Structure 1
Amino acid sequence: MAGFDRSEITRLLGATAAIAAPSAGTLAGLGLVGALSWWWAVAGMLVALAGSVAVAQLLLGGFHALRDFAEALAQGEERPAPPPGGRIVQDIARAMLRLWLKERRRTERLAIQASDFAQVLDRLPLLVLTVDERIRIRSANRAAEEAMGEGLVGRELVAVLRHPALLDAVDQALVRGDFADVVFSTAAPDRREYKAHVETLRAGDDPGDARRAVIALHDLTQIRKLEQMRADFVANASHEIRTPLATLIGFIETLRGPAKDDPEAAEHFLSIMDDQARRMSRLVNDLLSLSRIEMNEHMPPAQAVDLVDVVDDVISGLEFKARARGIEIEVGAEPGLPSALGDADELAQVAQNLIDNAIKYGRNDSRITVRLFRTTQAPRPVGLAAVMDAVAFSVTDQGDGIPREHLPRLTERFYRVDSARSRQVGSTGLGLAIVKHIINRHRGHLAIDSKPGEGSSFTIFLPVAGSADGARPVRSSAAAPR
């Protein structure tokens, strides 16, 4: 009788014995009278029978009342009516009520603990599964269902995760009670890497009870990507610096040796050295800028920035470069455009990088279109609301365009669609990576669209800050040769 107190059980048995005592006395009296006389024996039997019937009715009435009381408790009544009867019946009823209340409190505590445990499992980033001795999934937390699909419970584990090392670890846990850590990868196209910890769970304290196994999966995919990105970054940065550095060292040795007394060669070599030194300077500046932005990426800016003024200042500084290639920059701003929430210097860097790229990769004698407008359907970063009220800024060129398969990787550090052309135009391969991190810090969104042979369009969306600052007429800034 798990959960019952010893003193309460003793009290219940004592009350039962007290009910049975009258019947025992009646039977003893019957034996004594029967020994004296036959007639007296018959009379005694009748008296005993009548007494037994009376006692039996009294006992049955008390038992029926206790039965009804117990049924009321079983149906969940908080305070059922006390059963009719004497003191003994009342004592038994009170003992039953105490036992019932004690068990109910214990059950409620277990239910709360089970609910809390289930909620904790659902909030863990780990993917947690339990399987039975038939290697069928018995439970799965929310992270597991989000990663592997709903309806996992009841399915065979092999239908969800087919890696041999994992299945072998589960078998060993169920058969021998072992535990193991396994690293494995899922199949393409959605290839992911996991570290699984597999351990035994018993259904009870008896070693012979049926075993279950718990599988905790830690997703290593993002960690592996970051490790690869870091390795690629070090390799690419080293390569980008080593090339101009080797060029500088070579020309310095040449100027000290064979070209020492050749002014014409010295002038040619110094021009190349100047280009390579400026290339290294741009690279170092971009690396420092990227590092600074990443350190502050978790702190969103809170200034109100007039994007029209920012774009005007940037275009004024790039007009000469655009004019040299016969490129016209057309700017259109929506009337009544509100301020954006951001950092003016960083947004100027975004505009500088996007418009400068459009000039570098646009065709000669073409046009760059810059548009500023407001939208209530701007996409938000992952994990936030689907859309937001935003100020948008787009730059569209008339260049060669970018093949669609390259678009997802354009914001990676040192990623280039055409490496030779990028170096020829002086690109460090970090411009769009800087843009992406600035927009992330601003809790905005960067959208890229491109059609080979027609050009590319880069659009940023930034949260609105404050109200409109007044009408801004559409203007055209001709940066073509006059």
Structure 2
Amino acid sequence: MDMAVFDRNEIRRFFGATAAIAAPAVGTLGGLCFAGALDWHWALAGVVVSVAGSMAVARLLLGGFHALRDFAEALAHGEERPAPPPGGRIVQDIARAMLRLWLKERRRAERLAVQADDFGQILDRLPLLVLTVDDQVRIRSANRAAEETMGEGLVGRELVAVLRHPALLDAVDQALMRGEFADVVFSTAAPDRREYKAHIEALRAGDEHTEARRAVIALHDLTQIRKLEQMRADFVANASHEIRTPLATLIGFIETLRGPARDDPDAAEHFLSIMDDQARRMSRLVNDLLSLSRIEMNEHMPPAAAVDLTDVIDDVISGLEFKAHARGIEIEVTADPTLAPALGDPDELTQVAQNLIDNAIKYGRNDSRITVRLFRTTEAPRPVGLAATLEAVGFSVTDQSDGIPREHLPRLTERFYRVDSARSRQVGSTGLGLAIVKHIVNRHRGHLAIDSRVGEGSCFTVYLPLAGRGNGRAPVAAAS
């Protein structure tokens, strides 16, 4: 190693090492000389030789140490295969051992990096909102769902600035101080009110003496579940009410016929007519409930038949023509010459057309017109079919009626929802017809569009996937 490149500290180390190596020999020679056992000339010569040899050994050792230091620094800077250091066998063996250790640690670090990346991707794909907090109750990490719901930039913020529910904050404090876990149900403030179930648990890091206090918070959004529970409760209440009303009427008239009206033929005829209407209403309601249940049960299985919509509309109109003529309503049908078969279930599509055209007759004005248009389009308002394409076929039913106020349109397909309850019962509506339409269209992976203008009328449009256009398995033979 060139002494010219040494700095002052290196020179000090060099002479210190030389002195340490030469000291035993110099001390021995000096002792022999003072004891008269060795002539001072030979003693001096021995000292010179010892110092020279010690300098050579010190230079060799320091050179090896410097070479190992440079080799270690090259490894620390990430060089894949740094040049082996110059030096003897011992230096080479140490360098090889360092390289093996470095390669082992690098492979371990790579595995940990892959695991951390996998874990991060898994967390980001979870529907749960996941946060971790430190002992200062500051957010250390947040998955994608949490940032999408609570906003970006969560890391580093205090938890109380994001979630202010006292019971949740108390549970986090208990987890950090005592290592306890807890489940807390809480709601966020309006206007975007949501309900969550939070699971809080302590995380361990370090040994028992240097253990860092952290906690993980997993939030499960219960808002949709609560809405479904409320919808189910409302459905049961509405269904019970709809069945109880005609049932109470039947029971009341039966008691009347058995009592005061037993010998009154005119009253009996009148009551029996009302009882027949109520019984038919109850029968329609039960049939619609069963139909809706059957459709919902199969909603996850899209149909696979090729259906001629022209035949479907013709069959429905043939069955409703008498009812339309009784009110002076004319039904006009127009069909696109490029119309193609739809992918669907012929019976269910018949039910859709039946409900929509029947509603148009019920709510349309006397001596008005209903227009049924069959079409093919490449600009559906939403993708349809399993292929999620904007190319679709379908039909629209437009009536001339009083129309529906715009604020009611989003709820028209809810079960038992009526804009005018009295008129709906008067025309024999069960309140389930459009709900059935919506679920059938959903099963067909289609789209239902509703438009209405007060004083002019309403238009209901059904978009359906084309048969044989990448919408699942090949359709069976055409059905009508």
State the TM bucket, normalised to the shorter chain.
0.7 to 0.9
Classify the secondary structure of the residue corresponding to 1:290: helix
Aligned residue identity for 1:32: T
Tell me the residue number matched to 1:76: 78
| Equivalent runs, 1:114-129 vs 2, <5 Å | 114-129=116-131
What is the deviation of 1:345? 0.7
Show the counterpart of 1:31.
27
Say whether residues 1:86 and 2:82 are aligned partners.
no
SS of the equivalent of 2:185 reads strand
Match of 1:338?
A: 340
The superposition leaves residues 357-389 of structure 1 with CA deviations (integer Å, 9 ceiling, x where unpaired) of 111111112222222222223244799887522
**Which residue of 192, 203, 206 maps to 2:194?**
192
Identity of aligned residues (%): 85
Counterparts of 2:209 and 2:389 in 1: how far apart (Å)?
A: 56
Give structure 1 stretches of 5+ with no counterpart: 1-19, 468-482
**What TM-score do you get using the length of structure 2 for normalisation?**
0.88
Once the 2 structures are TM-superposed, how far is the Cα of residue 210 of structure 1 from its aligned partner?
A: 4.0
Residues 188 and 194 in structure 2, CA contact (< 8 A), matched pair in contact too: yes
Matches within 5 A, 1:277-356: 277-356=279-358
Q: Tell me which stretches of 4 or more aligned residues in structure 1 moved more than 6 Å.
A: 20-25, 381-386
| Amino acid aligned to 1:424 | Q
Alpha-carbon distance in structure 2 between the residues aligned to 1:300 and 1:384: 9
Q: Distance in 2 between matches of 1:36 and 1:56?
A: 25
Question: With structure 1 as the length reference, what TM-score do the two structures score?
Answer: 0.87
AA in 1 matched with 2:301:
M
Tell me how far apart the structure 2 counterparts of residues 157 and 231 of structure 1 sit (CA, whole Å): 36
**Deviation (angstroms), 1:322:** 1.1
CA-CA distance at 1:332 after TM superposition: 1.7
Matching of residue 109 in structure 1 with residue 105 in structure 2: no
CA 149–458 in structure 1, closer or farther in 2 if over 3 Å, else same: farther
Residue 203 (structure 2) aligns with: 201
- What is the deviation of 1:232? 1.1
**Rounded Cα–Cα distance in structure 2 between residues aligned with 1:207 and 1:86:** 44
Aligned-CA RMSD value: 2.4
Question: Residues 41-74 of structure 1, C-alpha deviation per residue, up to 9 Å, x if partnerless?
Answer: 3222211221121112211221222122212222
Distance 2:387 2:381 in 1: 8
CA change 1:412–1:392 in 2 (3 A) is: same
Map Cα deviations across residues 247-285 of structure 1 (whole Å, 9 max, x no partner): 111111221222112111111111111101110110111
Q: Could you tell me how far apart the structure 2 residues matched to 1:398 and 1:120 are? A: 55
Cross-structure match for 1:471: none
Specify the code of the residue in structure 2 equivalent to 1:263. Answer: P
The counterpart of 1:227, out of the listed 223, 226, 229, is: 229
Contact 2:196 2:219 in 1 (8 A): yes
Deviates more, 1:264-273 or 1:250-259: 250-259
Match of 2:464, as an amino acid? Answer: L
Report which stretch shifted further, 90-99 or 449-458: 449-458
Unaligned runs of 5+ in 2: 1-15, 34-39, 470-480
Q: Deviation of residue 22 (structure 1)?
A: 11
Aligned pairs for 1:56-75 (under 5 A) are: 56-75=58-77
Report the residue type matching 2:193 in the other structure: R
Deviation at 1:94, TM superposition (A): 0.9
Q: How far apart are the structure 2 equivalents of 1:74 and 1:227?
A: 60
Structure 2: which amino acid aligns with 1:60? L
Amino acid at match of 1:108: E
Q: Does the 8 A contact of 1:379 with 1:387 survive in 2?
A: no
Q: Following TM superposition, by how much is the alpha carbon of 1:25 offset from its aligned partner in structure 2, in angstroms?
A: 6.6
Q: What is the CA–CA distance in structure 2 between the aligned matches of 1:39 and 1:355, rounded to whole Å?
A: 131
Deviating more after overlay: 208-217 vs 403-412: 208-217
